[in-house]
Chain A
Amino acid sequence: DAKTTQPNSMESNEEEPVHLPCNHSTISGTDYIHWYRQLPSQGPEYVIHGLTSNVNNRMASLAIAEDRKSSTLILHRATLRDAAVYYCILRDVRDDKIIFGKGTRLHILP
């Protein structure tokens, strides 16, 4: 599985945008970029995914670099409920499983 690199932790203020970075320099042409988050004492939940173009949904936006070697998950207006561990995962189009890394622990300051 291709590897991703994320900061161990980040802090952000409530009601401000949050940009969570992910590096994936060895990404292949058939890898999709997936993001999950895990709230305290809960199972992970899917957030968003993309291949080449930027993506938006009700939870977040995903900005993908032109060379696809990095991506950024954007939370437009953080709330205390967004405090969680965020995982950036590469999933090959032919792959049937996902492997989690360590993720980024996001702290939201009131």
Chain B
Amino acid sequence: NAGVTQTPKFQVLKTGQSMTLQCAQDMNHEYMSWYRQDPGMGLRLIHYSVGAGITDQGEVPNGYNVSRSTTEDFPLRLLSAAPSQTSVYFCASSPAGPLRGYTFGSGTRLTVV
């Protein structure tokens, strides 16, 4: 059972560079979300999706883009990296409805210098 797979696990970017964090799930879950977690802080929701072709903004969407062309994949794009985007990024997925919990990936640790 692969669950939620995030790649890469670690990444260092220079200010102004762009990159895509990958997230894939093999559980046929409808819902997918991206969070960021700064050191010593809680998780903040960046973007989420309730199905292929549907995305919406979370609490801190600025500087990030997402798309959901398939049920399995939900990539997060950083358009022009800034030091303030240094964080650990978590992807999560869930079946539709409130009766099941979200499954989280192991995270991508991103440093922007």
Contact = CB atoms under 8 A, between A and B. Distances in A.
Interface of A: 32, 34, 36, 42-47, 49, 85, 87, 91-93, 95-103
Contact of B98 (A32, A36, A44, A87): A32
Interface of B: 31, 33, 35, 42-45, 48, 50, 58-59, 90, 92, 96-107
Contact of B106 (A34, A42, A46, A96): A42
Contacts, number: 57
Nearest to A34: B101
Interface residue SS majority, chain A:
loop
B101 A100 contact: no
A47 B101 CA distance: 8
Nearest to A102: B42
A97 B96 CA distance: 10
Nearest to B30: A96
A43 B58 contact: no
A91 B31 CA distance: 14
- Shortest beta-carbon contacts, A-B, top 6: A46-B101, A43-B104, A100-B43, A32-B98, A96-B50, A91-B98
Nearest to A101: B42
A63 to B, nearest CB: 18
Contacts of A42: 106-107
B33 A97 contact: yes
A49 B95 CA distance: 15
B101 A49 contact: yes
Residue in A43, A98, A101, A103 whose Cβ sees the most chain B Cβ within 10 Å? A43
Contact of B101 (A36, A92, A99): A36
A49 B104 CA distance: 16
Nearest to A42: B106
A45 B103 CA distance: 7
Contacts of A93: 97-98
Given A43-B105, A43-B106, A44-B90, A97 B45 contact: yes
A100 B92 contact: no
